[in-house]
Structure 1
Amino acid sequence: MSQSAFDPFGEPVPAIDPSIAGGRASTWLKNAGTSVFWVLVVGIVLARAVYFEPGVFSFERAVAWAQGLFAAL
């Protein structure tokens, strides 16, 4: 006899018959979602590398901006 499972509220969870559980569709959706995620990650990183301008993110500009902000306050 198998152990009964309970949800977080203490209600018993009915056992799922493995023959009716969606195996192929969920596996396909998981693989498709994972692939889309990593394609987006690679695309964003490559776009950032291609369009990166080194002078825009300089430390001196950040300090000057912070000083201007504190002067305005």
Structure 2
Amino acid sequence: MNDRYMSVDQVAELLGTTTRFPRRLIEERRITYVKVGRHVRIPESAVQDFIAANTVEPVVLRPTGLRRAA
């Protein structure tokens, strides 16, 4: 278990959001976190899992070669 534990501020910076977003993820139990006394830490692997689970792949359209006139 060689995971780096990040603060809410660090997670927000990594995700490019305000601190409110990771705090909401914690409150809604949508991300794994660890309580160390009164501090909340999020494992880096949990952030990577969250990103992977919410990544939307692009749709690949096949060119048909035929175009309809409007």
Which structure is larger by alpha-carbon Rg, 1 or 2? 1
TM-score, normalization: structure 1?
A: 0.27
Question: Could you say which structure has the higher strand fraction?
Answer: 2
Question: Could you say which structure has the higher helix fraction?
Answer: 1
TM-score, normalization: structure 2?
A: 0.28
